Amino acid sequence: MNLKQRLLKLLGRAVIVEITEQGGRQTMTIKVGLGDTRTDCERLQNYGAASWPTEDCDAVYAALAASRNSTVVVSAQDPNRPPLEVRGDSMIYTAAGNKAYCHIDGSISLIAAAGKPLKVSASKAEFDCPIHSTGDITSDGDIKAGGISLKLHKTSGVVPGSGQSGVPVP
């Protein structure tokens, strides 16, 4: 192979054939061209981000030090997954249909896959904003507003019969 051919093979496109992960290191088998398959190619991911692409995704590889034996995958994408709806948005998504959008207008959208719940697990959740729901709100525990318990509150001005009681008492 002459120098020009070797330089052309330093960077290129490939198709992911197989993915394995062991000890926090993700490696891939990629198909670079007709009859050219490379194995044990480490996939480099950005710090703080991790994913497991599906087979048949497109990939970009780099042959470090111009060596086929030092091939790393630097990017992977699935051309069959949804594109961004708005230019300037950023999105994280899964093959199942989950999406997390950071919109160019500053808003954020979290969308769970069809029929799946959005779960938040924390010792406490705080919202510094009004909350609106288009569906029912249920709770296994008590709900309090202004220190008044929905389950245990007493009311003032109770009138026997068909009269209405007064406001809740803290």
Read off the pLDDT band of 94 (50, 70, 90): confident
Report the length, in residues, of the chain.
Answer: 170
**How many other C-beta atoms are found inside a 10 Å radius of the C-beta of residue 61?**
23
| pLDDT, tens digit (0-9, with 9 covering 90-100), for 148-163 | 888 888 888 888 888 7
Does the residue 103 lie in any domain? yes
Rounded CA gap, 30 and 16, in Å? Answer: 5
pLDDT per position as a tens digit, 16-36: 999 999 888 899 999 987 888
Are the beta carbons of 72 and 61 closer than 8 angstroms?
yes
Q: Which residue has the higher pLDDT, 86 or 78?
A: 78
- Check whether residue 48 and residue 94 sit in a common domain: no
Confidence of residue 83 (pLDDT cuts 50, 70, 90): low
CATH label of the domain that carries residue 20: 2.40.50
Same domain, 90 and 27: no
Tell me if residue 11 falls in helix, strand or coil. Answer: strand
> In 100-118, which positions are buried (b, 16+ CB within 10 angstroms) versus exposed (e)?
ebeeeeeeeeeeeeeeeee
Please indicate, yes or no, whether residues 70 and 85 belong to a single structural domain of this protein. Answer: no
33: domain range? 3-77
